[in-house]
Amino acid sequence: MRVALGTRGSPLALAQAEIVAGRLRAGGVHVDVVPIRTAGDRLAQASLAALGGKGLFVKEIEEALLDGRVDVAVHSLKDMPARLPQGLTLAAFPPREDPRDVLIAPGAGGVEGLPPGATVGTGSPRRRALLRARRPDLRLADVRGNVETRLAKLRGGAYDALVLAGAGLRRLGLEPPGAVALDPAEFVPAVGQGILAVEARADAPGVLALLRGVDDTRTRMEALAERAFLAGLAADCHTPVAGHAELRPDGTLHLAGMVASRDGAAMLRGATSGPGAEASALGERLARDLLARGADRLLRASGEA
């Protein structure tokens, strides 16, 4: 069988697409990787929040899926809105990469080691809120562009530090000096961070059957819990919201969540646990808990509710 696999054209997106393509090829499938330029790529220097969020990175690829130009799409799950277009489904989740955020600041040794008033580059409202809560003195600067571009700006002195997803660095084989992984118990990762989402048409049984061999049960449970949490909050990718699920060796799924104001001054955290088979229900439960404690007010203040 031959399938066309759609992806963004950045070095990281292509590396991620090759992870999925390699698994399909190992099963005897011929895979054609099809790079697709998205609105988020065309508007690479603009603020994601001002443009409407990270759904900008998936719209054109989903259109290609729906009209049959590609059979499969690979996304970073954290880039995807909580709701999918009608007719599409998340068919597979390969094994998750490290979900933690990484602070890159040569010589600092972590957030506490940054000098007073240091400039930290990050385009994420979630990361900005968490950094402000820990170090209100830091100067936070918006940063866009691919991983290599951001690292070049750091080396050029545009920032004293950067915060990036550890998964992207690992998939690109990068080990920048001064990189320190941040504790996910405090710096709760973004919903879906470290997870690849393999999307397909719901009415393509042959393709869906092939993708079952790509799916990882543990990652699927974690993804479903985190996305149910995001959907339950009616939040989106450019809100200061975090959600991190971890399937423990005993089969218990632990889910931590956070909703914050943009300045990090107000922050609600919560957690829940239960059987992995109840992943979506756990996400919904945690969303209800935070909403009952006032998360809706924080979301409205962020312009999302």
How many Cβ atoms are within 10 Å of 149's Cβ, its own excluded?
13
Rounded CA-CA distance 56/52 in Å is 7
Burial of 119 (0-12, 13-18, 19+ CB in 10 A): middle
Kindly report the number of other CB atoms within 10 A of residue 139's CB atom: 11
Residue with tokens 């959600």: 243
Cβ neighbors of 151 (< 8 A, separation 6 or more) are 104, 162, 174, 176
32 is catalytic: no
Count Cα neighbours of 166 within 13 Å in the Cβ-side half-sphere: 17
126: nearest Cα among 78, 93, 171: 78
Among 70, 62, 65, 64, which residue's Cα sits nearest to residue 3? 70
Residue 272: φ, ψ to 5°: -150, 160
32, 41, 71, 79: which is the annotated catalytic residue? 79
Instruction: Check: CB of residue 41 under 8 Å from CB of residue 14.
Output: no
Residues annotated as catalytic are 79
